[in-house]
């Protein structure tokens, strides 16, 4: 029986990136649907879970993606409500690649330093930043989130709309007034993650090259990179006592993790891979 992945994408055009990753993870058929919402997915989901019967669902799984993370979360929740015994299919959420990206980075850092009780800083309150913070908290780290310093943004939108979401999730959010203030606030932080917009340097070298910082991670690969002094390919390369993890060194494991998660959907019927589930796979696969 062929392995079929039902791609539920909130964007008009379903992600080619996700479809290619699925084929590379040994899926036989990807059925891609775009412009999916929590209100219009019933027919797609029900049309996929019934034809093969309960046993056939071991070879049918769902993937929720797209660039709109909040919309993806709503679709993920609505799709799960349509499942029932014995028609429980496997399903995964990875809108904007935020779950696999954060899980891959934190898993790599976890192998390098002890995160339990570690003071951690996450710069950026967008989807990847928030998920990074959630996983650091799972590892019992002391997490503080930061918005981007205004002088680094050069008039660009600071995405401060994520502040209420982060605070609702229980995180302290600091809004530095300048890069100097951010540098001072990062003193003594064991791990620093920079989750900024593409092509914008949000953290200076002076922010991470100081006493107490053990690891710095940059998620942005576009020029200029998000963290001064961190090359895209730095794979926990040490400089002045700090381990540097660049965007490409996160991207490789992220792709490996994405494929491992897709394979996991077909290993056990009814597998649910939200952020926690994706991270569990990361701890085994990376």
Instruction: List residues bridging with 6 in a β-sheet.
Output: 31, 62
Judgement on whether residues 109 and 237 belong to the same structural domain of the protein = yes
Alpha helix ranges (H) inside 38-171: 42-49, 53-56, 69-81, 98-112, 127-138, 150-153, 162-168
Distance CA 119, CA 5 (A): 40
Same domain (yes/no): 134, 90: no
Same domain? For 237 and 125 the reply is yes
For residue 239, list its beta bridge partners.
Answer: 242
Q: What is the residue range of 108's domain?
A: 100-250
Q: Look up the CATH number of the domain holding residue 167.
A: 3.40.50.720
Query: 186 with 274, same domain?
Result: no
93 and 145 fall within a common domain: no
Express each pLDDT in 111-132 by its tens digit.
Answer: 999 999 999 999 999 999 999 9
152: helix, strand or coil: helix
HSE, CB side, 13 Å, CA atoms: give it for residue 201: 15
Question: What is the arithmetic mean of pLDDT over 190-215?
Answer: 96
Other CB atoms within 10 A of residue 70 CB: 11
Give the HSE-up count for residue 242: Cα atoms under 13 Å, Cβ half-sphere: 26
What confidence tens digit (pLDDT) does each residue in 77-112 have?
A: 999 999 999 999 999 999 999 999 999 999 999 999
Q: What SS3 class is residue 270? A: coil
CATH number of the domain to which 68 belongs: 3.40.50.10280
Claim to verify: residue 238 and residue 259 sit in the same structural domain: no
Q: Give the relative orientation of helices 127-138 and 98-112 as an angle to the nearest 10 degrees.
A: 40
**Domain match, 203 and 266 both:** no
Mean pLDDT over each residue of the chain, to the nearest integer: 96
Percent of the chain with pLDDT over 70: 98
Name the band, by pLDDT with cuts 50, 70 and 90, for residue 156. Answer: low
**213 and 112 share one domain:** yes
Taking the C-alpha atoms of residue 187 and residue 172, their distance in angstroms, rounded to an integer, is 16
Distances (CA, A) of 135 to 39, 75, 275: 30, 22, 8
**Is the per-residue pLDDT at 158 higher than 70?**
no
Q: What are the helix (H) ranges across 176-272? A: 179-185, 205-208, 247-267
The mean per-residue pLDDT over the stretch 149-166 comes to 79
pLDDT of 220 above 70: yes
Residue 140 has pLDDT above 80, yes or no: yes
Say whether both 35 and 124 belong to one domain.
no
Helix, strand or coil, per DSSP, at residue 207: helix
CA distance 218 to 230: 7
Element (H, E) at 278: helix 275-285
When divided into structural domains, the chain yields a total of 2
Instruction: Verify that 122 and 54 share a domain, yes or no.
Output: no
> What is the pLDDT at residue 154?
75
Q: Do 215 and 138 belong to one domain?
A: yes
Is there a single domain that holds both residue 39 and residue 66? Answer: yes
Cα–Cα distance measured from residue 177 to residue 51, given in angstroms and rounded to the nearest whole number: 57
pLDDT score recorded for residue 161 = 76
């Amino acid at each position: 029986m062929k392995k079929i992945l039902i791609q539920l994408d909130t964007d008009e055009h379903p992600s080619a990136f996700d479809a290619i990753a699925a084929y590379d993870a040994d899926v036989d058929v990807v059925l891609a649907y775009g412009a999916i919402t929590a209100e219009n997915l019933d027919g797609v989901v029900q049309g996929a879970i019934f034809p093969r019967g309960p046993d056939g669902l071991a070879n049918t799984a769902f993937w929720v993606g797209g660039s709109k993370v909040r919309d993806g979360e709503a679709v993920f929740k609505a799709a799960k409500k349509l499942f029932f015994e014995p028609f429980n299919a496997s399903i995964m959420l990875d809108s904007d690649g935020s779950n696999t990206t954060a899980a891959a980075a934190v898993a790599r850092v976890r192998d390098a330093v002890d995160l339990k009780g570690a003071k951690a800083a996450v710069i950026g309150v967008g989807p990847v930043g928030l998920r990074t913070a959630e996983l650091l908290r799972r590892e019992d780290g002391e997490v503080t989130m930061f918005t981007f310093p205004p002088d680094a943004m050069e008039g660009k939108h600071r995405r401060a709309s994520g502040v209420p979401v982060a605070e609702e999730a229980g995180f302290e959010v600091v809004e530095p007034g300048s890069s100097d203030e951010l540098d001072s606030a990062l003193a003594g932080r064991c791990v620093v993650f920079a989750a900024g917009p593409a092509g914008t340097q949000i953290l200076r070298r002076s922010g991470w090259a100081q006493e107490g910082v053990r690891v710095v991670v940059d998620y942005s690969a576009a020029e200029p990179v998000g963290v001064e002094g961190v090359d895209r390919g730095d794979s926990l390369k040490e400089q002045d006592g700090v381990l540097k993890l660049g965007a490409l060194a996160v991207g490789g494991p992220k792709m490996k993790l994405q494929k491992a998660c897709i394979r996991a959907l077909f290993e056990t019927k009814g597998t649910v891979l939200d952020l926690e589930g994706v991270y569990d796979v990361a701890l085994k696969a990376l």
